[in-house]
Chain A
Amino acid sequence: MITLSQIFKEKGYSRRDFLKFATLTTAMLGLPPAMFPKVVHALETKPKPVVIWLEFQDCAGCSESFIRSTTVMPTEVLLDFISLEYHETLMAPAGYYAEESKREAIEKYRGKYILVVEGSATPEGVYCTVGGHSNYELLKEASEHAGAIVAVGSCACWGGIPKAEPSPTGAKPVYEVLRGKKVVNIPGCPPIGDVMVATIVHFLALGKLPPLDSLGRPRTFYGQTIHDRCYRRAFYNAGRFAESFDDEKARNGYCLYKLGCKGPITRNACPTIRWNGGLSFPIQSGHPCFGCSEPDFWDRGFIYRPLSVVEGGFSSKEIATGIAVGALAGAGIAWINRKLRGGK
């Protein structure tokens, strides 16, 4: 069995390079430093995990995001750290041999492979078939012997855009199709590539799934809201808001709350890990967060509608302190959030 440590060595990397990778992995996974030796040990001794990646009612945006990972570059992900045995968008063979690749991988790595699912699935098989087989059957078949099941993107996690009203094809999220099985949800439209890679690395390094919240999301990346970690939070606290795209306030980086920012009710790592090499994220580039990692966000109303229940009550004159603004609005949002989660 070839291990990651050997791979590093044979690639001409030093032990120091390897330890650097392990440090990065430990840090990305948000693990306590005490876990570091364990990660090192695991990376040194575990073989490359096999990944079978299925696409159903998808746009391939999650696959695209996966190959935008920059903490571990896509070349290394694909050639060195995982063995991607089935992925329609990237694999060499088509048709018969593509399907045979999958059958063989399922057989050979029974109970060990990671099944990644992109896109929702529909019980009406005729709306999504691959190789003449219905998506439901393909999903059930591939999940049966999977070592771990990971739903990537909001379509696989929550139903996403195909499930947006009036849900023309009856699209369902993976966990609903595979009731009774543990499904890791990595939501986002798409999720950040580094987050997808890190979750897989976690499984590889530690041999188990990362700690998940009640909705199956890795706590490391979905434990806090965008708002909690937003670099514009100080403007929010001070009651300074942009009123329109491109007004003086927007040009000076004020909070986008009044433009409909859903940062306060959205759990994701955008403000910390950021996108495409840690360069920016939607709010940093002037657009409010529209909550693309939250369940059923497409049906939560106009994306530019402010969350606030306190209409026009955000000028600094009317509210005594900035902190109070935050606390008040936060309470209001929590209420809206509960209401939304309760149903439409």
Chain B
Amino acid sequence: MKRVVVDPVTRIEGHLRIEAEVKEGIIEKAYSSGTMVRGIEIILRGRDPREAWAFAQRICGVCTTVHAFASIRAVEDALSIKVPENASLIRKLMIGTLFVHDHVVHFYHLHALDWVNPVQALKADPQKTSELARRFSSYEKSTPGYFADVQKKVIKQVERGQLGIFSKGYWKHPEYKLPPELNLMLLAHYIDALDWQTKIVQVHTIFGGKNPHPNFAVGGMPCPINPASDTAVNMEKLGRVKSLIDEMNEFVEKVYLPDLIALGQFYREWFFKGEGLGNFLVLGEPEGDSYREGRWFIPPTFIKGRNLKDFEDVDYREVKEYITHSWYRYSVGDDKPLHPWEGETELNYTGPQPPYEHLDVEGKYSWLKAPRYKGYSVEVGPLARVLTMYARDLYGIREEVGIVLKGLDLPLNALYSTLGRTLARGLETKVYADAMRGWFSKLLENIKNENYDVFNGEKWEPSSWERDAKGLGLMEAPRGSLSHWVQIKDGKIANYQAVVPTTWNASPRDAKGQPSAYEASLVGHRLHDPKEPLEILRTIHSFDPCLACAVHLYGEEELEVRVV
């Protein structure tokens, strides 16, 4: 048995380490470890709940906003604050923008180089590339001159001997299978998307002042609407939002989705491996902001063992976390799980002192805790959501899935795979991009009816709050179900916990030894060359890891009042 270590896993957010036991070139067991910790939940204790979003937001700068949303929703839930409809719509527009931005950037800048070989793109004929591109889409930038320019750009990199981010890629690996023209087309879109993404985040800039890390407010949004003011949200700004939504839809329809299909044709075998668990969880994205209203954009759903017929609704009491193999200590014993409301934190590093070769995977081996639902190890994220929409027949996703799979000549089961996950991410991007049009129209209609309200300040003052309150904020983040759990006592945060998508997916084993989605999905992968672990990267990247999100400490029970 040979131990293969991949550390750092790159083209992700944060610090992830994979250790795999390999026998005759095939992975028999895999272990996923988060190797960095900051302790933001401890830092949140004793702070004013109205500013918690700003702290929580800094959990992650890639999926920037998701922790801010979950945080304000948790605090609004605890304090029973009803958010004006306009604020909910603006938030939704920002969430939609995040999904489109994050998924596109993930595909091109974090995932594509697992499939696309820029060195091979040098051999492409720009004329043929243009013809190929036009077969897939009517995207205007598909001229031979455009592809020739991109090719020149890459040739320059090679001639200059300064390959930059492309240095030491595994460009001779036999698993790269795209023809030169397709490599050039996708590389051109890598470059195109890199500049495109600077612009579409402007929806965040208009409503939140900046990106990354735009601003929010508990009780609504801080950006006033006033068609008569040149500084507030007015028709000039809304017009820009409208154009940006159109641009997002165009890029998703004409570039992102066609590229996914083009790529899928050449990697069929990756639609049949890398599934992992077969259990999928969606905690839910509310239609407004509160889960208590029972109106859902993406309804909470538990799918067990690929069973799309008998899916279940979700019971939030069944979310529990283990630390048996995580560097923490529980007062109830390390083999028992705790619900986030009773969450505990005590750092307990038992791993080797750096520099080290291997982690002790029999003991504790990660800064991530291990969340489980009803005791099951589950996968969260785009695939779980697309399966939910499929099972519940929402947003025409059955038809979309059907068309794409038919085009690729694949069965429905192909979704349960590495590329199935990558494809699901693209399909849900379209659902969000589409939905933005509806949210925008509704916002515009309200403004037409002179409803400008974006903020409810009735409960701004702590004197209006209950002495002891608990709140749950749910948010379907790009990487999966996110939940923030806050307890507010005497106007301050007594306990704060975040159960994060990548914690669900990338956790270490639990008390029963059940592996997480990452760990299970790698089993059976054949490695061509352990020093070039392309196969591991493909499957791990298909989850879109976000480690800064995943590692955090949970606050202890007792209230510790800080002087602020």
Contact = CB atoms under 8 A, between A and B. Distances in A.
B212 interface: yes
A281 B220 CA distance: 19
Given A127-B36, A165-B43, A302-B564, A78 B224 contact: no
B120 interface: no
Interface stretch (B193-201, B379-387, B481-489): B193-201
A336 B322 CA distance: 46
Give the interface size class of chain A.
Answer: 35 or more
Contacts of A164: 43, 55
A244 interface: yes
B409 interface: no
A161 B40 contact: yes
Contact of A282 (B209, B355, B553): B209
B48 A282 contact: no
B211 interface: yes
A50 to B, nearest CB: 7
Contacts of B209: 275, 280-287
A92 B198 contact: no
A228 interface: no
B223 interface: yes
A79 B38 contact: no
Contact of B201 (A97, A125, A270, A276): A276
B60 interface: yes
Interface in B354-370: 354-357
Contacts of B230: 253
Contacts of A212: none
A186 to B, nearest CB: 15
Tell me the dominant secondary structure on chain B's binding face.
loop
B38 A57 contact: yes
B223 A59 contact: no
B23 to A, nearest CB: 19
Interface string A48-63: 1010000111111111
A279 interface: yes
Interface stretch (A30-38, A64-72, A143-151, A217-225): A64-72
A130 B35 contact: yes
Contacts of A133: 354-355
Contacts of B199: 276-277
Given A60-B62, A277-B198, A286 B223 contact: yes
B222 interface: yes
A10 to B, nearest CB: 7
Given A129-B35, A253-B229, A280-B209, A63 B224 contact: no
B81 interface: no
B232 A253 contact: yes
B278 interface: no
Given A128-B37, A129-B35, A169-B37, A64 B206 contact: no
Contact of B165 (A84, A162, A231, A302): A84
B553 A91 contact: no
A142 B199 CA distance: 34
Nearest to B553: A168
B548 A79 contact: no
Given A128-B15, A190-B212, A285-B223, A304 B51 contact: yes
Nearest to A61: B61
A285 B222 contact: yes
Contact of B169 (A48, A79, A93, A279): A93
A74 interface: yes
Interface in A129-147: 129-135, 137
B356 A279 contact: no
Interface stretch (B288-296, B301-309, B418-426, B451-459): B451-459
Interface string A285-312: 1110010100000110111100000000
Contact of A74 (B12, B198, B213, B351): B198
B141 interface: no
- The secondary structure that dominates the A interface is loop
A168 B42 contact: yes
A167 B45 CA distance: 12
A75 interface: yes
A128 B204 CA distance: 31
A129 B15 contact: yes
A65 B355 CA distance: 32
Given A64-B212, A127-B37, A137-B354, A303 B220 contact: no
A280 B202 CA distance: 9
B222 A287 contact: yes
Contacts of A304: 50-51
B8 interface: yes
Contacts of A245: 217, 219-222, 224, 454-455, 457
B504 to A, nearest CB: 19
A151 to B, nearest CB: 16
Contacts of A303: 51, 54
A68 B195 CA distance: 8
A183 interface: no
Given A89-B10, A279-B205, A61 B212 contact: yes
A94 B207 contact: no
Contacts of A128: 15, 35-37
- Residue among A69, A280, A302 facing the most chain B CB atoms (10 A cut-off): A280
Contact of B212 (A65, A270, A280, A290): A65
Contacts of B160: 2, 48, 83
20 contacts: A10-B156, A59-B61, A60-B13, A60-B62, A62-B61, A68-B198, A92-B113, A94-B9, A95-B533, A98-B8, A127-B37, A160-B58, A168-B39, A245-B457, A251-B224, A251-B229, A270-B210, A277-B198, A287-B217, A304-B50
Nearest first, the 5 A-B pairs at minimum CB distance are A61-B61, A168-B39, A92-B169, A282-B209, A253-B231
Interface of B: 5-15, 17, 35-40, 42-43, 48, 50-51, 54-55, 58-62, 64, 109-110, 113, 149, 152-153, 156-157, 160, 162-170, 191, 194-195, 197-199, 201-202, 204-217, 219-226, 229-232, 347, 349, 351, 353-357, 452-455, 457, 460, 531-533, 537, 548, 553, 562, 564
